[in-house]
Amino acid sequence: MNPFSLNIRGRLISYNRPVVMAIVNATPDSFYVGSRNVSANEISERVKSAIDEGADIIDIGAYSSRPGADDVSSDEELRRLTVALKAVRSVDTDIPVSVDTFRASVASHCVKELGADIINDISGGELDPKMFETVAELRVPYILMHMRGNPSTMQSLTDYPSGVTAGVIAELAPKLERLSLLGVNDVIVDPGFGFAKTLEQNYQLLHDLRAFEMLGRPVLVGISRKSMLTRLLDITADEALNATTVLNTAALERGAAVLRVHDVRAAREAVEIITCLNKA
C-alpha cells in the first residue's frame, strides 16, 4: 500500500502500514451473530477488546445491510448510534470512529453531536442525494463504497458489460470527481464486496485490486466472514475466521490500505506479517 493520511478534526493522522478497522454493530440482526451488540455495556466491552487487539479505527453501524434484513427508520438508527457512540467515547476519547450510514441527516448528527470522525457510506451517495454536500460541509473523511440499488435489490444488478472491475471503477471515478469539486479530498474507496456482485465477481475484484490504484485513493477491503467465503466453502459465518484471514492476506498483498474486520487480532497479525515480509 501507499502511505496515506486523514484529517481527523484538524489532526493529521498518517498511516504507513495497513489500517485495521474494527466492526462494531449496534444492531440485533447483523449477518454474523458474534458481532451483534445492543446494550451500551456490550458495545463498551467490544470496543475495549478491539482496541486491546490493535484496532486503528472503530466502525459503528446500526443498520443491517444484509439481504432480507428489516428496514430501520432513521430515528431508530440514530437512537442505536447514540447509545453506541457514547459507549465508544466512554472507552476512548481519541481513537478515530467512523459511522456506517447512508443517511446524510444521521451522518451530520453523529459528527456534530456524538463525536464521529469519518462517514462510511455503503451506498456511495446513491441512497441519499444530500450525502456528498453533507460530507463537504462536515469536512470529514468519507468512505465511498460501490453499490447498486439497495440491499433488497442489489443482487439483481450484477451485469457489468465491460467486466466487474472496469465497471466498478467507472462508476466510482465520477463520484470521486464530484467529491473533489466539493472540496472533499480525504476519501477512501471501497469496491463493495458482496454488494451487487456475484460470487465470481467478488473474487475477480479481489484479484484485480491493484487496478483501483488508478483512482489515487487508499482502498478498503471488507470481506470479513461474508458469503463470498461461506458459500464457496460451505461453512457458516461463525466458521469463517480462517478463510477471512486468508483473503485479508491476499488483499494486503494486492495493496489494500484498510481491512474492515470483525476479528481484530487476526487482521493485525496479518498486517504485521505482510509488512515484515515486504521489508525483507
Q: Kindly list the catalytic residues.
A: 226, 260
Closest CA to 260 of 46, 2, 19: 19
What Rg do the C-alpha atoms of the chain give, in angstroms?
17
How many C-beta atoms lie closer than 10 Å to residue 13's C-beta? 15
Among all chains, which residue has been given the C-alpha cell 443491517? 64
The cell for 208 is: 484485480
Q: Is the dihedral of CA 166, 168, 169, 175 positive or negative?
A: positive
3-class state of residue 5 by DSSP: strand
d(CA 256, CA 219): 5
CA 268 remoteness from chain centre: 16
